[in-house]
């Protein structure tokens, strides 16, 4: 039953993720990401992957802060990098295997990407941590969470290509 519930929670996160990646406004992207994180974090907790689950819930507060700053039109605060200490502390305290190191590093990489104002750069810098998290999810048998990260990575790549094509068309229209 635990395995089925883990997979259901991951599947819900996956569906939300698919919708969120294509939002043009960063604040809408944050709302979708925040909601997906809730389901994905719960999936990891139910699966017994405490470091991944707890760091995901810590990331929810980070995304919420970023959303508030984005909504106010302000630059993201660099003090969010201090969250790195929380991610590492949770990892050290609740570490079950060396795989948990992945879930200590990836939220730090995501924090760095979210500090960028340009949404296209956010997409580029999201590819590596998502790939790492997909690997972690496969290793811990959280298969729908793995699918979440794989699909999110593919969707990010498609969004990058779509945005690039659109920008090139806009340049041609100006000529």
Locate the domains of the chain by residue range: 2-174
Helical H runs in 72-118?
83-94, 102-114
State residue 175's pLDDT score. 55
CB-based contacts of 13, cutoff 8 Å, min separation 6: 36, 37, 38, 39, 40, 43, 144, 145, 148
- Per the CB < 8 A criterion, the answer to whether 26 and 119 are in contact is yes
* pLDDT tens sequence for the chain (175 residues): 888 998 899 899 888 877 877 777 777 877 887 899 899 999 999 999 999 999 999 989 988 888 888 888 888 888 988 999 999 999 999 999 999 999 999 999 988 888 887 888 888 998 999 999 999 999 998 898 899 889 889 988 988 998 888 887 776 655 5
Burial class (CB in 10 A: 0-12, 13-18, 19+), 174: exposed
**What is the value of pTM for the model shown?**
0.80
């Amino acid at each position: 039953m635990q395995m089925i519930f883990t997979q259901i929670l991951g599947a819900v996160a996956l569906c939300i993720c698919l919708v969120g990646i294509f939002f043009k406004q960063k604040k809408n992207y944050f709302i979708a990401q925040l909601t997906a994180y809730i389901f994905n974090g719960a999936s990891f907790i139910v699966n017994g992957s405490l470091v991944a689950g707890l760091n995901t819930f810590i990331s929810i507060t980070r995304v919420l802060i970023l959303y508030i700053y984005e909504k106010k039109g302000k630059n993201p605060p660099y003090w969010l990098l201090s969250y790195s200490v929380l991610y590492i502390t949770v990892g050290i305290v609740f570490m079950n295997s060396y795989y948990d190191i992945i879930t200590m590093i990836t939220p730090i990489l995501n924090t760095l990407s979210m500090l960028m104002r340009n949404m296209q750069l956010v997409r580029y810098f999201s590819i590596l941590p998502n790939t790492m998290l997909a690997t972690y999810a496969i290793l811990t048998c959280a298969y729908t969470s793995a699918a979440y990260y794989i699909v999110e990575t593919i969707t990010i790549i498609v969004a990058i290509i779509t945005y690039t094509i659109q920008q090139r068309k806009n340049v041609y229209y100006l000529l």
